[in-house]
Amino acid sequence: MSDGPAIETRGLSKDFGGGRGLFDLDLEVARGEVFGFLGPNGAGKSTTMRLLLDLIRPTAGAATVLGLDIRAHSLQIRRRVGFLAGDFGLYPRLTGAAVLDYLAELRGGVDRARRDALAERFDADLHRPIRELSTGNRQKLGLIQAFMHDPDLLILDEPIAGLDPLVQQSFHALLAEVSAAGGTIFLSSHTLSEVERVTHRLAILREGRLVVVDSLENLRRVAVQRLEIEFAGPVSTEGFAALPGVREVTRAGSTLTVAFEGSADAVVKAAAAHEVRSIRSREDDLEEIFLRYYRGGAGS
Amino acid sequence: MTIAPLKMALRLRLAFTASAAAGLIAVLLAVGALFPAVGHTIGKLSLPQGVSQLLGGADYASVAGWFRSEIGSVYGPLLVGAVAIGAATSTTAGEEEDRILALVLAYPITRARLVGAKAVAVAVLVVAIAASAWLGLLVGVAFAGGGMSAGNLAAYAVHLAFFGFALGAIALAAGAGTGRRSLATGVAAAVGILGWLINGFAPLVGGLDWLKYLSPFYYYAGHDPLTRGVDVVGLVVLGAAALALTAVAMLSFERRDLRG
């Protein structure tokens, strides 16, 4: 087996016209990595995944999955990949067990005990017709079918959608096990909180283009920090607004809130010229960082 | 692995096909039982030639004419068409619109094999309807007083099956080629109905007689298999059309983006 990346795309593009699609995606996901793929709805996450599985064809560029070309060797790729489509359908009149039996036969070589263990783990109801199941219970079937053959790579489009917190916990534990065993996971989401606990690295996509690829730690490092400084009396905002790195200063009574990037040194030294009663530090929520990327206010 | 989608398609269409087959047999028995009472009374209807042609000659005075008009010209092809078109569109474009294929095509099966499995399923269902037609005819004709050979009844069932193959393949090509269920159903149904009308009326219009050769109905019923047995040319045309359209379905599905 090759030691190359689990997923590698070079200029991968799918132009749907009207500015919609995916444009010039260069991405590398290492083997054994849990990689988060984030972006608002319509950013191109599902399009990327569908391209990797040959469900749709690129208008430009190329990609490999597990070292195999996505067009020439799709069948071999699909043997080794587990996929959860973002908005999938199942036969509504059949039970979960009947559908999983069908999919297991279609794939071949699925261990029934593994399937049953997954069903137990997710507390999935396999004996009711699909049409009677809630969104979350249908999603459990989608997860079971993606994991049931112990794939080398999991491509999961919005895997947490509709799952209750307990099942989310089971799902996160499963991801950690798969990753520890050397499996690669490429999962998409439109909210960071769904993936921040499990991903090693992540990419953010906006309007079909890659905005940033980095680890969470690095993304946190560039976060805007805020200092809330309570003074003994009213202090003007002007002296602080002019300091290097400061983005915003707001005043509420005798308290100033100073938002800045980089070092706090200049802000603290400027504050020391007055009588300071208290200082509280607060980082931007990660969600705020991501919303800024989503809106196009950072990194581009 | 290819057997799985075949079994699934059969499973999903089993209830509809079984009730259609049971209904067909019941109607054939009832039609057969009615003949002794009303057939001779109705006799041969005096209708405009095109309408008479649409009704398979509208000769209700003989057992063969009775069944040709009652079953051969409308009910049989309508039923086999409904089964074939319904199965072909729901298992291709239907599953695509319902986003089932978005999951299934991420499995290790080529699109051509998947379409091939669906085509075989359609053929099996069509054969089940044709076999039911033969069975119903055997008993129905006996109820009517007999006088038709079992071989000719089988020949009719074979023509019915090949007609179903052709209509099913049209629906399969349109369904797999476009991913749109209603469009595929409409195209296949339109070919069936237009074919029926063309076969009835085209021969009446000087210079347009040749149009009947474009109608699958002509190859299904033009030779009158109920009284004259199998028409090899008709079967070859319908069979070749079905195979060619199935190949078109496979190729066009292989080449396009999955919808959604």
ipTM, two decimals: 0.89
Q: Which residue, among A74, A77, A106, A155, would best test binding to B if mutated, counting the most B CBs under 10 Å from its CB?
A: A106
Q: Is residue B186 part of a domain?
A: yes
Contacts of B43 (CB under 8 A, 6+ apart): B60, B61
From-to residues of CATH 3.40.50.300 in chain A: 7-220
* pLDDT value for B37: 79
* pLDDT value for A195: 79
Q: Is residue B229 part of a domain?
A: yes
Q: Which residue, among A84, A88, A110, A154, would best test binding to B if mutated, counting the most B CBs under 10 Å from its CB?
A: A88
Angstrom CA distances, B250 to B160, B173, B237, B253, stand at 24, 8, 20, 5
Q: Is residue B58 part of a domain?
A: no
User: What CATH number should be reported for the domain whose range is A7-220?
Assistant: 3.40.50.300
Contact at CB, B257 and A87, closer than 8 angstroms: no
Angstrom CA distances, A148 to A100, A114, A115, B23, stand at 9, 6, 5, 42
Q: What is the side-by-side order of every strand in the sheet holding A276-283?
A: A246-252, A255-260, A225-231, A276-283
In tens digits, chain B (260 residues) has pLDDT values of 589 999 999 999 999 999 999 999 999 999 899 888 776 666 666 667 666 666 666 677 788 888 888 788 889 999 999 999 999 999 999 999 999 999 999 999 999 999 999 999 999 999 999 999 999 999 999 999 888 999 999 999 999 999 999 999 999 999 999 999 999 999 999 999 999 888 888 777 778 888 889 999 999 988 889 999 999 999 999 999 999 999 999 999 999 999 97
Q: Residue A10 and residue A27: Cα distance in Å, rounded?
A: 7
Distance from CA of A26 to the nearest CA of B (A): 22
Distance from CA of A52 to the nearest CA of B (A): 10
Question: Number of structural domains, chain B?
Answer: 1
Which residues in A lie closer than 8 A to residue B257 (C-beta atoms)?
Answer: 55-57
Q: Is residue B43 part of a domain?
A: no
pLDDT tens-digit map of A76-130: 999 999 999 998 999 999 999 999 999 999 999 899 999 999 999 999 999 999 9
Give the closest residue to B169 by CA, choosing from B246, B92, B106. Answer: B246
Domain with B77, as residue range(s), is: 3-35+71-255
Closest CB to A103 among B3, B107, B260 = B107
* pLDDT value for B219: 95
How many Cβ atoms are within 10 Å of A164's Cβ, its own excluded? 11
pLDDT above 70 (res A149): yes
DSSP A112-155: HHHHHHHHHHTT---SSBGGGS-HHHHHHHHHHHHHTT--SEEE
Write out the two tokens for B156: 């009719």
Provide φ and ψ at A36, rounded to 5°: -90, 140
Q: Residue A214 and residue A262: Cα distance in Å, rounded?
A: 18
For B109, the closest chain A residue by CA position comes to A75
Closest CB to B109 among A87, A89, A106 = A106
Give the closest residue to A82 by CA, choosing from A169, A174, A4, A12. Answer: A174
Helix axes B111-144, B76-89, angle to 10 degrees: 160
Q: Are B208 and B50 in contact (CB under 8 A)?
A: no
Interchain CB contact of B110 with A (< 8 Å): yes
Interchain CB contact of B51 with A (< 8 Å): no
Query: How far is Cα of residue B232 from the mean position of the Cα atoms in its chain?
Result: 17
Tell me how many residue pairs between chain A and chain B have CB atoms under 8 A apart.
Answer: 70
A284: pLDDT confidence band, cut at 50, 70 and 90? low
Closest CB to B108 among A55, A57, A75 = A75
A170: pLDDT confidence band, cut at 50, 70 and 90? very high
User: Considering the domain A224-283, what is its CATH architecture?
Assistant: 2-Layer Sandwich (3.30)
* pLDDT value for B172: 98
Q: Is residue B77 part of a domain?
A: yes
Q: Which residue, among A48, A50, A55, would best test binding to B if mutated, counting the most B CBs under 10 Å from its CB?
A: A55
* pLDDT value for A36: 94
From-to residues of CATH 3.30.70 in chain A: 224-283
DSSP A254-288: TEEEEEESS-SHHHHHHHTTS-EEEEEEEEPPHHH
* pLDDT value for A300: 40
Distance from CA of A159 to the nearest CA of B (A): 14
Q: Residue A158 and residue A190: Cα distance in Å, rounded?
A: 8
Q: What is the DSSP letter of B75?
A: I
Which residues in A lie closer than 8 A to residue B108 (C-beta atoms)?
Answer: 75-76, 78-79, 106-108
How big is the CA angle at A254 (ends A250 and A255), to the nearest 5 degrees? 45
Give the closest residue to A159 by CA, choosing from A84, A82, A81, A47. Answer: A84
Contact at CB, A57 and B257, closer than 8 angstroms: yes
Contacts of A43 (CB under 8 A, 6+ apart): A190, A205, A206, A207, A208
pTM: 0.87
Distance from CA of A105 to the nearest CA of B (A): 6
Q: Residue B172 and residue B250: Cα distance in Å, rounded?
A: 9
Which residues in B lie closer than 8 A to residue A147 (C-beta atoms)?
Answer: none
Contact at CB, A89 and B106, closer than 8 angstroms: no
Higher pLDDT, A263 or B53: A263
Distance from CA of B260 to the nearest CA of A (A): 9
